[in-house]
Amino acid sequence: MELKAYLIPLLRFWWLLCVAAVVAAISSFLFVRQQPDIYRTRTTLVVGTTVYEANPGGQDIWLSQQLAGFYADLANRATVRDATMAALGLNWLPDYAVRPLANSQLMEITVTDTNPLRAQAVANELANQLILQTPGGMTQEDEEQQQFVQQQLEQLRQRIQETDEEIANLREQLLDMVSARQIADTQQEIQLLETRLNTLQSNYASLLTSSGQEARNTLTVIESAVLPTNPINQNRAMVVLLSSAIALMIAAGGAYVLNYMDDTLKGKDEITKLLNLPVLGHFFELPDDTSNGLYVVEQPRSPFAEAFRSLRINLDYMNVDKPLKSILITSASIGEGKSMLASNLAVILAQGGKKVILVDADLRKPTIHRRFNIQNGKGLSDMIGGNVDFREVIYQWSSKLFIIPAGHIPPTSVELLGSPRMNYLLERMKQIADVVIIDSPALVVPDAAILAPKVDGLLYVARYGYTRKVAAKSALEQMDRIGARMIGVILNRVSQKDLIYGDYYSYNNYSYYSEEVPALNNGHGKIYNFLRGRLRTISRRVDHHHNTDIQVSESGDETDST
């Protein structure tokens, strides 16, 4: 599949992408504009004293990591939260998170708040309250007791050092002594000092254990929370851009969904693949105005008229060996533009030098007579009924174009169109003219199915973005069953906005060689084109509403007389 096939849904629903991006950008901008600045700070703690030891054991490290997870969970419970609120005099706490750092004895307390001072205070107080929950945590009384223990430890340390120094001095003096009694007294004194030293060391060890300096189940703050100065949500432009990008992606997905759910006919390749028929012509959508729709006359050098000339060439070259003498133009449903196309095709064929008879076979809702401003008092229905002949119903619109209106609307059109008289009249018209163009009702009624086997070829009109694929497929299957010869498809009312990305680029090429005309979508341009077309054709139409007598010889030749 070509890249264009993936881009077409995005280009077709470009407005959806633009609306989604603009709405998302405006909404996110208004949202972030109303949001206050948010600040974040953190406190880091370490579990135990293993990290400070020169040779820590693996068991101690594993135990510290397990304790870190325990204290992280404890910090999120009511005991720590309530104690923190009570200590700070708050009735609520800002958002905070406590997590142990992976594969370490560290814990991190992160606080997010709109007030930077409050964020700092809460982070530090949470750490303090968490420390109080540990065996190493101390109250006021515990602190005083700990200070006393520290004083005792300091005194014991000094006495140990003094005793150790005395023992060292006595041992040095012992080396210079020669008196046996003096040596014995000195040795005895050294023994007493060593006994006292052992006692002091034992007492020091006991006090050191109770002080908690060698404890494994403790928490220590290694990095206090600092006062944050820069808000974390300062990059509001990135939020707006990100929201717009997300909206664009969602809208793009919606465009693909809408394109997938759209089961109407659009692309030429799609039509050829589905219906197995060539697309002989495509015509863009024209604005609604008060004109009768003969655009090839009103605007003979417009891209629309050039498209009809291209259709005429396609019809000529696809039937070189067996020219088409009779062509039926129909559609799957009403409102697809078959009568307009039949009228303009008849005019363009006549301009090409062929003698053309345009027959309005829509005996239910005829429109051809209004397009050419002729009377519909008598027509095809009256001629089939045998009440009138050719001269009374045929109108000469130009030297090469003759028109047979529908005539009186009969109660049952199917019987008339399927009668042998209709077969005879069709053969007579083929003998008189080079091409017979028949505008039939849509395939929702059986009239077209009656006429289809009687003609040399059938042109199927599909309206861009309107004709359903199922309806088109069903209609063509019906034509195949009755033996109708399908020539091709005409795609009508192609949206002008789709010309830039569809398969319908040829209009731009036509415009290059066309005379300068105001844009049809412009109000002044439409008025100008309408008036110019009216003035151009008024001389032709002034007499076309009168009947034209046609003398038909027995050999099939005709003689025109006014």
pLDDT in the model for residue 294: 84
> Domain ends where: 214, 249, 273?
214
In this structure, is residue 124 part of a structural domain?
A: no
Q: Name the domain boundary from 154, 182, 214.
A: 214
Q: For residues 525 and 448, state if they share a domain.
A: yes
Give the separation between CA 461 and CA 476, rounded to whole angstroms.
11
Do 179 and 325 fall within a single domain? no
Whether 398 and 533 share a structural domain: yes
| Number of domains, the chain | 2
Q: What is the pLDDT of residue 474?
A: 85
Q: Is residue 327 part of a domain?
A: yes
Domain boundaries, position 424:
265-551
Instruction: Please check whether residues 417 and 300 belong to one and the same domain.
Output: yes
The DSSP 8-state label assigned to residue 212 in this structure reads T
Q: What is the pLDDT of residue 54?
A: 56
- Collect the ranges in the chain with pLDDT lower than 50: 1, 290, 500-501, 505-506, 508, 512, 515-529, 531-532, 535-536, 539-562
Shared-domain flag, residues 284 and 201: no
Confidence (pLDDT) at 500: 47
CA gyration radius for the chain? 51
234-243 CB contacts, 8 Å cutoff, 24+ apart? 234/37, 236/29, 236/32, 236/33, 239/28, 239/32, 240/25, 240/28, 240/29, 240/32, 243/24, 243/25, 243/27, 243/28
Residue 391, token pair as written in the block:
């001269």
In a shared domain, residues 393 and 538:
yes
Point out the domain boundary residue: 214, 236, 257. 214
Pick from 539, 477, 465: nearest CA to 504: 465
**Cα 167 to Cα 192: distance, rounded to the nearest angstrom:** 10
Q: Is residue 68 part of a domain?
A: no
Instruction: Supply 165's token pair.
Output: 């120094």
Question: Is 526 domain-assigned?
Answer: yes
Q: 284 and 430: one domain?
A: yes
d(CA 440, CA 452): 9
Bin 55: left if φ > 0, else alpha if -120 < ψ < 50, else beta: beta
What's residue 501's pLDDT? 47
Are 208 and 153 contacting, i.e. CB atoms less than 8 angstroms apart? yes
Q: Is the pTM of this model over 0.75?
A: no
Question: Which residue, 258, 237, 255, 236, is CA-closest to 247?
Answer: 255
Which pLDDT value is given to residue 118?
Answer: 93
| Residue 22 domain-assigned (yes or no) | no
Q: Is residue 17 part of a domain?
A: no
